[in-house]
């Protein structure tokens, strides 16, 4: 992984290891959380013993970018063994109010 150093940043080593951070980012999708902050509060309340070196919310948001490439590689390896059948769930996502659906530029 490349380490880009900024003159103004301290570049301290994180107490949270890469595998713990990847587990945290993967498990957010298992729950019904509205935001990452609510998921982080859930982690602090119920899973503090499993993550003893859990960093602050602002620090974990900064660290999310550092594990993007390893997380992508992990997901690529996991999804590589496909048996040829795939299912796609299409859920209706409300993008804007229904009345402005025909006026909005993106729908043209």
- Mind listing the pLDDT tens digit of every residue in the chain (108 residues)? 455 555 565 555 667 888 899 999 988 888 888 899 999 999 999 988 888 888 889 989 988 888 888 888 888 877 766 667 766 666 766 666 666 666 656 655
What b/e string do you get for 34-64 counting C-beta neighbours within 10 Å, with b at 16 or more?
eeeeebbeebeeeeeeebeebbeeeebeebe
pTM: 0.59
Domain boundaries, the chain: 18-81
């Amino acid at each position: 992984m490349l380490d880009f150093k900024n003159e103004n940043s301290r570049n301290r080593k994180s107490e949270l290891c890469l595998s713990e951070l990847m587990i945290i980012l993967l498990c957010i999708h298992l729950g019904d959380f509205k935001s990452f902050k609510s998921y982080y509060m859930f982690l602090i309340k119920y899973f503090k013993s499993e993550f003893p070196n859990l960093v602050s919310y602002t620090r974990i948001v900064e660290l999310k970018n550092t594990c993007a490439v390893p997380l992508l590689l992990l997901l690529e390896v996991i999804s590589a063994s496909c048996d040829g059948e795939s299912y796609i769930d299409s859920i209706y996502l409300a993008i804007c109010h229904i009345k402005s659906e025909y006026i909005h530029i993106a729908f043209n």
